[in-house]
Amino acid sequence: MGKISLYVLLILIYLGLSKSLKTDEKRFYYKNYESLDQSTSLLRPPTSLILLDSYSEGLILKTYLLKIRLIRVFSDNKDITIKTSHEFWKKNAPNIGMSILRLDEGHPKAEITPLPPGSYFIGSFTFGSWRLLNSGKRVWKFHRSYRDLPELLGWGKWQPTKDFYKKILIHREQKLPFYGPNDEFGTKGSITKANFKRSKELRKFKKENFLLHLTKLFSLPGNAGEQDE
């Protein structure tokens, strides 16, 4: 009994020490929007948070991670990875490529309705203006000093129209998520897919043919070089 207690204690010490001394752990834990909102070190208003990716690590015990782009107008933009709760992670599963939180100057609480990226900037004449196209449509154009924003927001060649902006305002008012008139944004959105590479795709295991693998394993020294070539 004494030896079993000692062994269990050893396992607990190992797990405790691994957790507290894990030196490569630089990811903070945010349980939900509220805890994220209270992080003054991250959010320097005006700030818009774009969800770049969501994934989990671990085979048996999972860690849920969100990769976020902080678009902070008056300080540097930053991509960070945060740990989060399963609920919050699941809730944000359809929101990749979307702006999930916006904090305006002078506003104590952040706005958390999922909206297309850049919703915070569209319509604000500090950042840009409406341009009339030959087709009669009005599209949003950023000022020269903010010309990098469309790339950071993952717009690609897409430009928001005035109609699009009106829909954003309606959804913001009603606190309803908005993925674009044709669902162009969000995890399954065509613009998001075209402009954000998900780490799941980057880290995808190379699928190997089992027979080929077996042949390589038992290949003779002379044949190995020929196969590589």
Partner 1 sequence: MNEIIDKLIIRIFLLVFICVIIVLYKYSHFLLYPSSKGQFLKRFYPSKNPAETVHLFGRILGLGLLFSQFQIYLMDGFFYAFFDFFITAVITYTLYLVALYIMESIALYNFEYNDEISKKKNMAYALVTMAHALGVAHLLQVSINVSTESGRHVIILIIFLWLFTVVIIGFASKTFKIISKLHFNQLLVQKNLAIGFSYLGFFLGWTIIVASAINLPIGDIKNYGIQVILKILLSLIIFPLFRWALIYIFKIEQDPEEVQAEGAMGIRTISTGYGIYEGIIQLTSAYLTTVITGNIHFSF
Residues that bind partner 1 (CB under 8 A): 7, 10-11, 13-14, 17-18, 21, 23, 57-58, 205
Task: Supply the minimum distance, in Å, between the C-beta of residue 53 and partner 1.
Answer: 15
Token pair of 140, please? 């949003």
- Using CA atoms, how far apart are residues 214 and 192, in angstroms rounded to an integer? 40
Nearer to partner 1, 85 or 199 (CB): 199
- Using CA atoms, how far apart are residues 131 and 181, in angstroms rounded to an integer? 21
Q: How many Å is the maximal CA-CA distance in the chain? A: 84
Nearer to partner 1, 1 or 220 (CB): 1
Task: Supply the minimum distance, in Å, between the C-beta of residue 195 and partner 1.
Answer: 26
75's CB contacts (< 8 A; 6+ apart) are 44
Q: Give the pairing of strands 78-84 and 29-30.
A: parallel
Task: Supply the minimum distance, in Å, between the C-beta of residue 49 and partner 1.
Answer: 25
Task: Supply the minimum distance, in Å, between the C-beta of residue 58 and partner 1.
Answer: 7
Helix (H, G, I), strand (E, B) or coil at 101: strand
Q: Whose CA is closest to 55, among 198, 191, 151?
A: 198
Give the residue carrying structure tokens 């320097």. 44
Nearer to partner 1, 66 or 168 (CB): 66
Nearer to partner 1, 18 or 124 (CB): 18
Task: Supply the minimum distance, in Å, between the C-beta of residue 213 and partner 1.
Answer: 16
Nearer to partner 1, 48 or 84 (CB): 84
Give the residue carrying structure tokens 């070539």. 229
User: Interior CA angle at 17 toward 13 and 21, to 5°?
Assistant: 175
Nearer to partner 1, 59 or 211 (CB): 59
Task: Supply the minimum distance, in Å, between the C-beta of residue 209 and partner 1.
Answer: 19
Give the burial string for 68-90 (b: 16+ CB within 10 Å, else e): bbbbbbeeeeeeeebbbeeebbe
